[in-house]
Chains A and B, each alone.
Chain A
Amino acid sequence: GDQVEQSPSALSLHEGTDSALRCNFTTTMRSVQWFRQNSRGSLISLFYLASGTKENGRLKSAFDSKERRYSTLHIRDAQLEDSGTYFCAAEANTGYQNFYFGKGTSLTVIP
Chain B
Amino acid sequence: EAAVTQSPRNKVAVTGGKVTLSCNQTNNHNNMYWYRQDTGHGLRLIHYSYGAGSTEKGDIPDGYKASRPSQENFSLILELATPSQTSVYFCASGDLPVSNERLFFGHGTKLSVL
Which residues of A are interface residues toward B (Cβ below 8 A)?
A: 4, 6, 30-31, 33, 35, 40-43, 45, 48, 50, 87, 89, 91, 96-99, 101-104
A/B interface sample: 10 pairs, CB < 8 A: A31-B96, A33-B103, A43-B108, A45-B103, A45-B105, A96-B50, A97-B97, A99-B45, A99-B103, A101-B43
In chain B, positions 11-51 with a C-beta closer than 8 Å to chain A are 31, 35, 40-45, 48, 50
On whether A87 and B43 interact (CB within 8 A), knowing A96-B56, A98-B48, A98-B58, the answer reads yes
Chain A contact residues: helix, strand, loop or mixed: strand
B77 at the interface (CB under 8 A from A): no
On whether A102 and B42 interact (CB within 8 A), knowing A33-B102, A41-B88, A96-B48, the answer reads yes
Number of A-B residue pairs, CB cutoff 8 Å, is: 55
Chain B residue numbers with a CB within 8 Å of A101 are: 35, 42-44
Chain B, 71-108, contact with A by CB distance < 8 Å: what is the 0/1 string? 00000000000000000101000101100111111011
Q: B43 → chain A, closest Cβ, in Å?
A: 4
Question: What residue of chain B has the Cβ atom nearest to residue A103's Cβ?
Answer: B42
Chain A residue numbers with a CB within 8 Å of B45 are: 98-99
Q: How far is the CA of A87 from the CA of B105 in the complex (A)?
A: 13
Count, chain B residues at interface, CB 8 A = 27
Which residues of B are interface residues toward A (Cβ below 8 A)?
A: 31, 35, 40-45, 48, 50, 56, 58-59, 88, 90, 94, 96-97, 100-105, 107-108, 110
Contact, CB under 8 Å: A97 / B94: yes
Q: How far is the CA of A56 from the CA of B80 in the complex (A)?
A: 45
Contact, CB under 8 Å: B58 / A89: no
Contact, CB under 8 Å: B100 / A50: yes
Question: What residue of chain A has the Cβ atom nearest to residue B98's Cβ?
Answer: A97
Question: What residue of chain A has the Cβ atom nearest to residue B40's Cβ?
Answer: A103
On whether A42 and B108 interact (CB within 8 A), knowing A97-B96, A101-B43, the answer reads yes
Question: What residue of chain A has the Cβ atom nearest to residue B102's Cβ?
Answer: A48
Chain B residue numbers with a CB within 8 Å of A40 are: 107
Q: How far is the CA of A43 from the CA of B56 in the complex (A)?
A: 23
